[in-house]
Every structure is written in C-alpha cells, then in structure tokens.
Homo-oligomer: A and B are copies of this chain.
C-alpha cells in the first residue's frame, strides 16, 4: 500500500461535522491543516463555524501550530469535491450502520488511492461497516473522545479487511497530529475506554434504581474521590499504589479473594495465577522502574494542582462566570 508521508498531508477531509466531526475539524485547524468538510445537513456550515469559534480560545490557550487559521475550512455539498486533494479522511457520520456502509462506498469511489480513512464510530466495528467496499484495506477505526480537540485519546483498530500498514499508518498519523493513541490488536465492541466507562455507568444506574445513591452522590463520589487521581494514574496504577510498597503483586496476592465480594453487579473473573502474573508484569512495564514512592509523590503533586484548579473554577462560577478571576466561595453543588 502506497501511503503518504505525514509531512505531505496538508489538507484533511472531514465527512460529517456534527459535535464529534466538528471537534475534529477544530483540532485539525489548530494543528495548521486546511480542512474540506462535507455534511448533508442544511445548517451544518453554520453550526460548524459556531463550534470552531467556541473552541478556538481553548485551542489558542493549549497552543496553536504555526499558521493555524480558524477560517481554513471549506464546506462542500458535493462529497467528491470535498474529498478532492485531501491526504486523510476522518469520518464522523451518525451512528447508523446502513448509512455508514453506503457512505463508505461513496467515499471509496471518490477518494484518491493511498488515502487512509479513519472512522470516529463508537458503536460499530470496521468489519461490520466495510461490507460494501471493494477494497477495505485503507479503512480503519480512529475513535476519539468528546471533545476531540481537548481529549487526546484515539483508539485505533482495523477490521478483518484492513491492511496492517494502514493501521500502523493511522496510529502514527494520529500521534503526529498530537493525539494519544491506543492501537488495539483486535476488534472489541466498545473498544477499551467506553467499556470501562460503561461498566461504571451501569453500576451507577443500578445504584440509582435501588435507591442506594442519588445522581448527585454518584458524581460527587467520583469528583471528590477517585476522579482526582485518574488524570495522572489510571485504575491499574491506582490499585498498584493501594498495595503499599509491595504494589500490585501484594494487592493481588492479599486482596484477590475480596474480588469475589458482592461489591458490584459485575462478576469478577477467576484470579488465576496466569492472570495475576500478567497484571503484575503489565504494571512493571508501565511503571518503567519508578518506585511506588515515586509514583505516590507524582500523584500527590498532581492532586494538589488539580484541586486548586477545580476550586478556582468553582469559585469563578460562584462569582458569576468563567471570566471572573476573583477568589470567592466555592458554593454548591460541589463545595
């Protein structure tokens, strides 16, 4: 497969520019690319320009690429015109399998060879979506998080017909444009982050249904608790630190049995020796020689800084708006 060099890509095709697709447009513009957008909605262009205007101050604060221009986007009513001359396509059409299948065939017919297509889908696999394509090789999933211009994560995975080279190219490309990439070995419904989010969300719904917690208590339990740890250290490292100096190995060896306690509606897997070893080895790899004490020092520094930010944002809100930098009462609902 003859794929372009990253530096040769200057113009991006964005197919579907609602909340997610429009967020991608904002990201590409901030990174200095030209964007050609296509969306059949009559008010797509107006909504897109509003979204870009709203996002631009944030993107400016995060740092724009040289030459980044919020106006470097054209909106086309003709798909072939929109895809003419682009070096990459991000597809963010509505989550409708029939629609995606038909749209992919139209993209294939109009798009120059060697141009990779990344799909923002959160609900379908590329294998499911690629059924109408003559050659699905260059079609991969590049699943972002909302808003795509602020949340770095992109989950990349190919379908059965995707070329391994196209998957590798897409992962490198998303890294090239400033995203944090997870390349998955195989298709898993929901990918990774949404499966984890969904498990928590479903447990929350069960608790609300049973009167065990209110909506607000669910949110407070995260924002005032474990949520403060997660921007720096994910759930696995969190448990590694909960194990004390012995880390994850100690945690699994001593608290493994309590996994079977009836704490959530989600059944626990059998903690086999193999699973235990795989988790411990994974943590070792991730920690890269950093001791539990080092990780704790980092965590504490991060929590302090994050708490200050959140307090400031709530104080500003209490004082009547994000533009007000004065110190004030934090006020409800989180004080």
Contact = CB atoms under 8 A, between A and B. Distances in A.
A230 B147 CA distance: 14
Contacts of A221: 153, 155, 182, 191-193, 196, 234
Contact of A224 (B180, B194, B266, B333): B180
Interface of A: 19, 55, 58, 61-62, 123, 145-147, 150-153, 155, 180, 182, 184-186, 188-209, 211-239, 241-242, 244, 258-259, 261-269, 271-272, 275, 278-279, 281-283, 285-286, 288, 297-298, 300-307, 309-310, 313, 317, 322, 332-335
Contact of A150 (B182, B203, B300): B300
Contact of A302 (B61, B219, B281, B313): B313
A262 B189 contact: yes
A50 to B, nearest CB: 11
Given A208-B282, A222-B234, A223-B232, 13 more contacts: A152-B224, A153-B221, A189-B263, A192-B212, A192-B217, A200-B235, A202-B267, A202-B269, A215-B281, A216-B286, A221-B234, A223-B230, A231-B310
Contacts of A237: 219
Given A150-B304, A230-B227, A244-B19, A195 B209 contact: no
Which of A209, A225, A282 counts the most B-chain CB atoms under 10 A from its CB? A225
A263 B190 contact: yes
Contacts of A213: 182, 184, 188, 192
A209 to B, nearest CB: 5
